[in-house]
């Protein structure tokens, strides 16, 4: 089962806000939803899905295991709790949220436990998030080639992460881009703005279309229905080679997220 190109993210959305966001997204045609244990909103996401009327088999639901649950005796039970909150017997994708080298659980232990979760039928696919090249190699060595569906990484026109992205693609691992708009910073970029004006598009649509053209999956979030609808139109925006070349010049290693103790040494 492939990773959907376009989904809705739920990072930092809580309570009724996340319920409304997911409900609006599903009404607009989104069918992939990304959440995580640490977001504290799995129950609300599950409620929104249940109340939407959209059949479960039409949806692609992703969650992520938090670092406190990496130990072999904790990972599977924690995923079962996530499934209960999400009101489903199985998620489509489960990720290790951060490599967390400072948290005392070895990569071999948590990747083995993640593979066990798949073997038990709790998740259809497994993957990783925020892993560098070396840690991705180690993860492949534990679970086997072809088992890691995606590496979800911060990636935007200001943080293009080409070396890591090219490595992942060479391994058949889908790149999922999060924070593709860099907390909105790229929306004010004059180059992005010029490209958007030429295509009669929004800057957000340009940034998302850029990632899609590079073969990445995207999971933008919004609390506003009109922005959710607008973002979805990025799928129909065709950037040309000149557009892509201009965006390529915007690289500035503009990383927004790198928590101490959780993040790896970045490539």
Q: Which of left, alpha, beta for 100 (phi over 0: left; psi -120 to 50: alpha)?
A: left
Q: Are 263 and 101 in contact (CB under 8 A)?
A: no
How far apart (Å, rounded) are the C-alpha atoms in residues 217 and 215?
A: 7
User: Is 199 marked as binding a ligand?
Assistant: no
Q: Are 214 and 158 in contact (CB under 8 A)?
A: no
Cβ partners under 8 Å of residue 117, min gap 6: 75, 76, 79, 94, 123, 126
Known catalytic membership, residue 183: no
30, 39, 70, 216: the active-site residue:
39
Phi, psi dihedral angles at 47 (to 5 degrees): -65, -45
Closest of 53, 61, 52 to residue 10, by C-alpha? 61
Secondary structure (3-state) at 117: helix
Residues recognised as catalytic: 39
Binding residues for substrate: 97
């Amino acid at each position: 089962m492939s990773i959907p190109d376009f989904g809705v993210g739920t990072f930092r959305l809580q309570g009724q806000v996340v319920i409304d966001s997911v409900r609006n997204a599903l009404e607009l045609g989104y069918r992939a939803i990304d959440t995580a244990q640490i977001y504290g909103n799995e129950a609300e996401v599950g409620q929104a899905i249940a109340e939407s009327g959209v059949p479960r088999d039409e949806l692609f639901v992703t969650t992520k295991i938090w670092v406190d649950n990496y130990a072999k005796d904790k990972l599977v039970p924690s995923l079962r709790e996530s499934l209960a909150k999400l009101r489903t017997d199985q998620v489509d994708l489960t990720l290790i949220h951060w490599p967390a080298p400072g948290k005392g659980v070895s990569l071999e232990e948590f990747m083995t436990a993640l593979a066990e979760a798949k073997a038990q039928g709790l998740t259809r696919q497994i993957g990783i998030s925020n892993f560098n090249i070396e840690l991705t190699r180690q993860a492949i060595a534990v679970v086997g080639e072809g088992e890691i569906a995606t590496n979800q990484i911060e990636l935007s026109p200001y943080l293009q992460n080409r070396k890591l992205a090219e490595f992942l693609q060479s391994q058949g691992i889908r790149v999922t881009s999060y924070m593709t708009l860099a907390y909105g910073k790229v929306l004010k970029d004059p180059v992005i703005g010029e490209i958007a004006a030429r295509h009669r598009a929004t800057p957000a649509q340009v940034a998302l279309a850029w990632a899609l053209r590079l073969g990445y999956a995207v999971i933008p979030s919004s609390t506003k229905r009109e922005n959710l609808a607008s973002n979805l139109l990025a799928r129909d925006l065709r950037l040309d080679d000149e557009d892509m070349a201009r965006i390529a010049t915007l690289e500035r290693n503009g990383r927004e997220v790198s928590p101490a103790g959780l993040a790896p040494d970045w490539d």
